[in-house]
Structures are given as structure tokens and as C-alpha cells.
Structure 1
Amino acid sequence: MSNLKLITFDLDNTLWPVDEVIRQAEKACSLWIAENHPDAAAALSAERVRAVRTSLLKEKPEYLDNLTALRQDAMSRAFVEHGFGKDEARRIALAAFQVFHEARNRVSFFPGALEVLELLADSYVLGALTNGNADLRMIGIHDLFAFHHSAETIGRRKPAPDMFAAALRSAGVSASQAVHVGDHPLEDVHAAREHGMHTVWANLVDMDWPVELAKPSHHIHNLREIPDLVPLFDE
């Protein structure tokens, strides 16, 4: 009988590259504001939004646990500081965020991602664990996952143990029956193994491993390598 029951995946930079996705989403958001609220466009230069985000994070570091609220509130504040009333600023910010969010969920998967997920979903419980705000339903892969936990739904981002604990509870398994696959050395690999889970470092964007962390037991450069690794966690 298989010992491994649960495979959890990080999303951004694990199943798809995210940097260009965010750039395109921010561009779509800016264009929408320029076309629909040209008087508000001047309030949202990249430098201005960065400055507002920085100041919001200083006031309330827990914004890092909710990137949706951070982006919405940063736009709202930028509009208010530009002279808009609070209600109008909020209305424009929420509408602009919807444009951003739709574009943010137009992703291009890494090679092999979909076929590997479909293959693994036949034999294991799959879960998604992310600090970001990707929407699996909008992306079209929600049916492959038994659950999707995020920093927003759990209230704390990785590397805090809360999301991993929630995953084990959702699947009804122990840590030794689970493996987490992710790109981030600290937030994914180190955090999951500290919680007792098996881990796979998905180094698909050619990062260097931080010298201060113990090296990963398993790492891959292509998601198609995962099915061959899985039997190792059953032993």
C-alpha cells in the first residue's frame, strides 16, 4: 500500500512563470484606468504605487498575507492622495483590480505541467498552497485539486507553518504521507520540510540555492521529472 497520499504544489514560478504575467496584468490595469478614468491615471505611475505600497506595508506588515487587499488599498490611497473622494477612489480601485486579476490569471504553464497534474491526480490527493492570489477556477485547473489554500484564506503566508498544517488537515494525512513541490527555497522547501513533509525543489527559473539553508534532497528542472521521483517517497 502506498505511503504517499498527498502532493501539494506552490503555483507561481512552480506551475507557470509569473513575472511576465504580473507585468502584463499591471499594464492591462494601467491601460484600463487611462481609458476609463484618465483623470485618475496620473495618480498611478509605477513609482507612485510603489511608494504607496511601501508606506502601507510599513504601517501594516500583515498586508503581505493578503496581496489582493494590498493592491486594492494601494490604488485607493493613491487616488485619494490625488484628490479623489474616498468612495470614488475605492470604486475605481476595485474595478481596476478586477481588470488586473483577470489578466493575472492568464498564465502559460511550464512544459509538462498539465499532463503531470492530470497523471498525479489519478493516484494522489493534490493541493495548491500559495502566497499569491491566483484563481484556479479562472485558470481552469481547479478540478485537478482537492483544495487550494492561500495566504489570504489561511491568514498567514509561507514560510509560517499554518498553510502546511491546513493542507495535512484537508487531506487527513500525516506529514510523512505528503510531499510539497515548490520553487522558493525558504517559503516552500525549507518550510515544508520543517513541518515534516517530503519536499521537491522545482528550480524551473534557474535560481541559486541560498548557502544558509541545508540543500534540498530532491530537485528538478522540469516538471516531467516528478512522476519518476514520486515512488521514492513511498519507500
Structure 2
Amino acid sequence: MIRFNRAISPFSVLSFDLDDTLYNNHPIITAAVQAQTNYLNALPNWQAQGKDYWQQCREQTLLDNPELVDNVTQWRKSTLRTALAKLGYKNTELERHVNNAYQAFTDARSQIVVTNKVLDLLSQLSKRYRLIAITNGNVEIERFNLKGVFELVLQAGIHGKAKPHTTMFEQAAATLGVPTRHILHIGDSLDTDVQGAHNAGCQSLWLNDQPAKYAYKGLADIEITDIQALKHFLSQP
């Protein structure tokens, strides 16, 4: 299904969100969190803090450093540092456990395999459009089979504020030398992807393929329920 909610102007760039747009990220994140938890559970006194300890430290870390909301990698590392410091770890030992726990997380986080069907679609699209990725996540794209697919990859925290802020969209347009209106951004979230695209003057395409509640009430320019519906743009004059 592809539905046009408003007329689309010409575009030359397809911008993709990554997590839950080009692959199912839910089992990946579950496995990554479990890998980190397994490491931490092996440390003395960690489990004794109770099941809510991590979340409590995470929330406190953000209260102390609100800017971390735009950088999920640093937020996780800072939370690990806060949580372990409270247990008495210091200096070299503290940093060793922070790095090891995060490494356990990111190793599992990178166990992504994008389907051949999606890779083939991207290959076909790349013959007509410039392909980029704009993500709020911390996935390391060079560690799985999307490596080399995109001309440009922008990540929140590293390259600007998280979507729906406009900074990464604006940076993409400046880097590519195109107006933002020539970018069609594709993503699964109304709150981050569609709202962010609209804020920056880009065009938007919403992949509406999973149940979720959103605060943003704006209408995406285009709506699809299957990523393969992008084949529509292969046949356009």
C-alpha cells in the first residue's frame, strides 16, 4: 500500500531511518541489553541492588546531564559509570567495567542481518537517487551488511541533535549540496522521522507497519505499510 496525503515535489535524495525501518530492531536491542546485564550480574553486589537499579541510575544520569538525551551511546556509558561508581568502583577498575559492559552491549547490538530483499531494493533505488541514513540510534553500520550502502550516515549525538531536531537534516542537505525539500526522509516514527523531516523542510514518508502511539499529529506526505512499496519510485519518470 502506498498513499499520497499531499502532492510530492521532485526529490533527488532518499534519507532512511535505520532501526525498525530497514530491519526489525526489537530482538536486537533485547539481546544487547541482556548481554550487558549478563556482564553486570557477574559483578559483586550488582544483583543485590534490585531490578530497578539500572533504570533509576539511567534517569538520574539524564537529570544531571540533560544533553545526553541526544546521544544514546554517551547516555549508556554515563549511566554505567554512575551505577558502578555507586557500588564503589573507582579509577582504572571503574573504566574497565564500563568499557567491558558497553562492549558486551555493542557487540550484540551489531548482530544485524538486513534481508537480501531489502538490500536489493536499496541497490535498485541507488541507481536513481542518492541514498543516506539519518538515525537517532547507536548502531555501528560498518559492522553489518549495510556497510557501504549509503553515501552519508548521520547519527544523533555525533552529528547533531536527535530527530525531530533539524540539525542532522540540515547537515545532510549542506553536505550533499541540495535544498532540504529535495530530501525524502523515510522512517517508522511519526514523532521523530515525520516530524523531524517537516521541521527541516524535507518531505516525509512514514512506514506504518507496527502499532505505536505518537504525540505528533501531523500527516506524513506519503504513507506505506511495507518498505517494498518504495519500488513505486523506480518507475517514476
State the TM-score, normalized to the length of structure 1: 0.88
Counterpart residue identity of residue 23, structure 2 = W
CA contact (8 A) 2:183 2:202 kept: yes
Q: Percent identity?
A: 25
Q: State whether structure 2 residue 226 is matched by structure 1 residue 222.
A: yes
**Superposition pairs of residues 94-133 of structure 1, within 5 angstroms:** 94-109=99-114, 112-133=117-138
- The match for 2:94 among 82, 89, 99 is 89
Structure 1, gaps ≥5 residues long: none
Q: State whether structure 2 residue 217 is matched by structure 1 residue 213.
A: yes
CA contact (8 A) 1:7 1:178 kept: yes
CA contact (8 A) 2:191 2:214 kept: no
Q: Which residue of 2 aligns with 1:15?
A: 22
Deviation by residue 1:124-169 (Cα, 9 ceiling, x = unmatched): 1111101110111012212110011111222311111101001111
Distance in 2 (CA, whole Å) between partners of 1:152 and 1:195 is 18
Compared CA separation, residues 209 and 64, structure 1 to 2 (3 A) = closer
**Superposition pairs of residues 55-70 of structure 1, within 5 angstroms:** 55-70=60-75
TM-aligned CA deviation for residue 98 of structure 1: 1.1
Counterpart residue identity of residue 96, structure 1 = A
Deviation by residue 1:57-105 (Cα, 9 ceiling, x = unmatched): 1111111111111111111211111121243122111111111001112
TM-aligned CA deviation for residue 19 of structure 1: 2.3
What secondary structure is seen at the aligned counterpart in 2 of 1:38?
A: coil
Compared CA separation, residues 168 and 231, structure 1 to 2 (3 A) = farther
Distance in 1 (CA, whole Å) between partners of 2:50 and 2:147 is 34
Structure 2, gaps ≥5 residues long: 1-8
Distance in 2 (CA, whole Å) between partners of 1:19 and 1:102 is 16
RMSD: 2.3
What secondary structure is seen at the aligned counterpart in 2 of 1:153?
A: coil
What secondary structure is seen at the aligned counterpart in 1 of 2:63?
A: helix
| Number of matched pairs | 229
Q: Hey, which of these two has a bigger chunk of helix by percent?
A: 1
State the TM-score, normalized to the length of structure 2: 0.87
